Amino acid sequence: MKIALITGITGQDGSYLAELLLEKGYMVHGVKRRASSFNTQRIDHIYQDQHEAHVNFKLHYGDLTDSTNVIRIIQEVKPDEIYNLGAMSHVKVSFDSPEYVANVDGIGTLRILEAVRILGLENKTRIYQASTSELYGGLAENKNERGFYDEHSPFYPRSPYGVAKIYGFWITKNYREAYDIFACNGILFNHESPRRGETFVTRKITMATAAIALGEQECLYLGNLDAQRDWGHAKDYVEAMWRILQQDVAEDYVIAMGETTYVRDFVKMSFAEVGINIEFRGQGVDEKGYVASCSNPDYQIEIGKQVIAVDPQYFRPTEVDLLIGDPTKSKTKLGWVPQYDLAGLVREMMASDLDYVKREKMLNEVKSSIRY
């Protein structure tokens, strides 16, 4: 039985990866940070059944800023595979906490690599490092001849998050070459799901769309509507992570869909799932979205109502306008074939968030009806 260790297991990617590895018969160990409130909702369905169906699942308290803790966990688990998904991954917030993101996302990667080296596990343990499309910085001149970012495109990070991740990328590559550790970078472009955090733009959009359709929210405020992203489904991307560590030779791979979409169009697609057609007017900070029509009788929304606005507080100090990845290598060498397209992703996220908002609305109505 293979043993896997996942940092960041309580996150979107960690939860999907844990499910995938358990299905493949792994013993899965996860690292979670200690918090005063429960933050395991994405893996509760696994953790609660650990004495029954999933006896091959165990959680450890840990933190990538604590070297002794990292060494202790790896020494105890002796994993065949480590998936380092733990990170402070919100790009906008990284501008507010640059030192913290450097410590976790950059030096945290070094701590894992060095722990494997110190413990003499170079020939046993394979390491996956979660790199990011934010390494590229969106510079047009750095794309390949086909107009994409690939494994050979130069890096130019435009945020503290991207800068920290570039250290993680290069230290992973350095330990691979210096100590012959099987360590790989997966340069993942944006990947979303119903488990995405609510402060990330895609989930913020689908949550607000559901709430607006159900009369629970008046307006959705966003930042740069002209930003373009290469969006895929996290469930597809974690399979690529696993495939990377099953290769004979350690290499780095771009994982992407190879298509780019404006934030504005993601908004339109989300509202279209509930039968609402959005029309945008204006430019820049004055751009607004209005309800042009509604074909779904279940949602009583006023035609002409403004439901989208731009708020400059959501702009980044240095903006990345365009990201699009070239998945040629991952598809040919890994045999990776995504099961979701963007339309399928939006459909799944909207269905999930409609259910969520309906449950919350019902719960609030019950609470308001109770007399104390």
- Inter-helix orientation angle 342-369/201-213, to 10°: 50
Please pick, among 134, 192, 273, 348, the residue that the annotation labels catalytic: 134
Same domain, 180 and 281: no
Predicted pLDDT of residue 36: 46
What confidence tier does 140 reach under pLDDT thresholds 50, 70, 90? Answer: confident
Cα distance between residue 159 and residue 331, in whole Å:
29
> Is 208 in the same domain as 111?
no
Confidence of residue 311 (pLDDT cuts 50, 70, 90): very high
pLDDT band (50, 70, 90) for residue 48:
low
**Is 94 within the bounds of a domain?**
yes
Residue 70: per-residue pLDDT: 97
Look up 132 and say whether it is catalytic.
yes
Residue 174 and residue 287 in one domain? no
Q: What is the DSSP letter of 102?
A: I
* Residue where one domain finishes, among candidates 188, 216, 237: 188
Of 7, 132, 206, 261, the catalytic one is 132
- 51 — pLDDT class (breaks 50, 70, 90): low
**How remote is the C-alpha of 272 from its chain's centroid?**
24
Residues 117 and 27 in one domain: yes
- Select from 189, 190, 193 the least CA-distant residue to 348: 193
Residue 328 lies in a domain: no
Paired strand residues for 289: 280, 308
- Residues in Cβ contact with 147 at an 8 Å cutoff, skipping those fewer than 6 apart: 324
Which pLDDT band, with edges at 50, 70 and 90, does 46 fall under?
confident
CATH number reported for the structural domain that contains residue 136 in this entry: 3.40.50.720
The residue ranges of DSSP E strands in the chain, in sequence order, are: 3-7, 27-32, 57-61, 81-84, 126-132, 183-188, 191-192, 220-222, 228-229, 232-233, 253-255, 261-262, 276-281, 288-294, 306-310
Q: Is residue 194 part of a domain?
A: no
85 compared with 33, residue with greater pLDDT: 85
- Structural domain of residue 307, as residue ranges? 201-225+262-321+342-369
**What is the count of structural domains for the chain?**
2
Instruction: Give me 30's structure tokens.
Output: 């996860």
Residues 126 and 206 occupy one common structural domain: no
pLDDT value for 44: 74
The answer to whether 23 is a known catalytic residue is no
Specify if 249 maps to a domain: no
Residues 85-108: tens digit of each pLDDT = 999 878 888 899 999 999 999 999
Q: Are residues 31 and 87 in the same domain?
A: yes
Assess whether 271 and 352 both reside in one domain. Answer: yes
Q: Are residues 221 and 154 in the same domain?
A: no
Mean pLDDT, the chain, rounded, equals 92
Q: Which of 161, 175, 237, 340 is catalytic?
A: 161
What would the two tokens of residue 267 be? 């908004």
Stretch among 23-27, 94-98, 251-255, 351-355 having the lowest mean pLDDT: 94-98
CA 189 – CA 336 distance, rounded (Å): 15
Q: Is 134 a catalytic residue?
A: yes
Q: Are 129 and 266 in a shared domain? A: no
Is residue 54's pLDDT more than 90? no
Residue 218 has pLDDT above 90, yes or no: yes
Mean local confidence (pLDDT), 341-363: 94
Two tokens, residue 178 = 């210096």
Whether 177 and 291 map to the same domain: the answer is: no
